[in-house]
Amino acid sequence: MRARTTALTAACLALALAAGPLAAAGASAAPATASAAGSAPKPGAATEAREATGPDAEALSAAIAGLPDQDATAALVRVGGTDGTWRGSAGVHDLAGPRPADPDARFRAGSTTKVVTAATVLRLAAQGRIDLGTPVQHYLPGLLTGKFRPITVRQLLDHTSGIRSGDGFGDSFEEQYAHRFDTLTPRQVVASAVAKGPEFAPGTRQDYLNINYTILGLLIEKVTGRSYTAEATRLVLRPAGMRDTYFPGTDPRIRGPHNHGYQAVRRADGTTEFVDVTDWNQADRWAAGDMISTTADLERLVQALFRGRIVPRPQLREMFTVPKGIEGATYSAGLERFEYDGQVYWLKSGARYGYSTVVAATRDLSRTLVYSVGSTDAKGESMNPVAERIALAALKRR
């Protein structure tokens, strides 16, 4: 299970931001190609936004106008920071009718879960229960075979471990969709990764993979004697005030208010069917990507975390430190460094079928961005066009 979304997001953002003004990226989208059954997105969704002082409200409103379209069914956006705020939503609750998207809806937050996992590990490090420089083999004896050299906890955090990706329920959407109610446990995922042997010597390369954070989840449970869910909630969610965020485990539903997610599937006759992917057992993603959250909660997380309210500042430095001496390295503990026009942003993206998410902020919190887009191709090879327009509008300074 290779996770490439963050790298793709940063690369696409760099290209998009260098390409020019929002007007070029924010053109109206063509209507979707629909199946005969009438499952295409419906026009006329409402857009709700209010202007504040800093962000470009006009550009942000234009970025989410016209939803639903072939790329997204909904968009929930929060731009904040010390230079002003903006809130907006567009699209529909589901494709069955004209009900507008709920701006406070819960959604699958995907790999933004890794921010919470990293923060949990760093809090335990601050308490002296985990040493970041100690090999994970010390804490979890027998988990890795003798083929693996010592891998430090820090190398799991910054994706320099050399452990290969674990197996899932297939590579294609069709294969995975057929197993959407089945359970693949984290230990099964780890066992499949370990069986492949190491990819490279620890600390010599950086390869962003879910497996690193799956093992960190096991580490949290081993050193605390409690479940990952209990510790992540106690050490991160509650201190950050994330009351609408939870870990569903094997429950395929999204509890509470939520907008439906869809995947566009091309039929043999050339038409497109929009398959409802809202209900899905994500247990195999676990500490790497199983979290359900809201844009408000993710904004609270970024603000509390960057201000040092969750992780003490000595350990917090790990989240803003990219490993040195590794060509092309951009990942830190739980985040990724992205630079544009002399401004450094620290971001994390996440994607599960039907939902694309990003959290991003400057270190001083002068600008923050959180969005959830109801992407119809969330696991695609390129950044969602609606998400790209949002990022262009939110991160470019006037």
Instruction: Dump pLDDT digits (tens) for 259-297.
Output: 999 999 999 999 999 999 999 999 999 999 999 999 999
What pLDDT is attached to residue 398? Answer: 67
The pTM assigned to this predicted structure is 0.90
**Nearest 5°: CA angle at 300, between 297 and 301?**
90
What average pLDDT score do residues 105-115 get? 98
What pLDDT is attached to residue 222? Answer: 98
Indicate the pLDDT class of residue 12, thresholds 50, 70 and 90.
Answer: low
Q: Which two tokens stand for residue 250?
A: 């094997």
Cα 20 to chain centroid, rounded:
26
Cα gap 81→231, rounded to integer Å: 29
Contact status, residue 262 vs residue 376, Cβ threshold 8 Å? yes
Indicate the pLDDT class of residue 6, thresholds 50, 70 and 90.
Answer: low
SS3 121: helix
What pLDDT is attached to residue 114? Answer: 98
Per-residue pLDDT tens over the stretch 41-58: 444 344 444 444 589 999
Distances (CA, A) of 49 to 85, 123, 340: 11, 37, 26
| Domains of the chain, earliest start first | 5-395 (3.40.710.10)
**Mean pLDDT for the chain overall:** 89
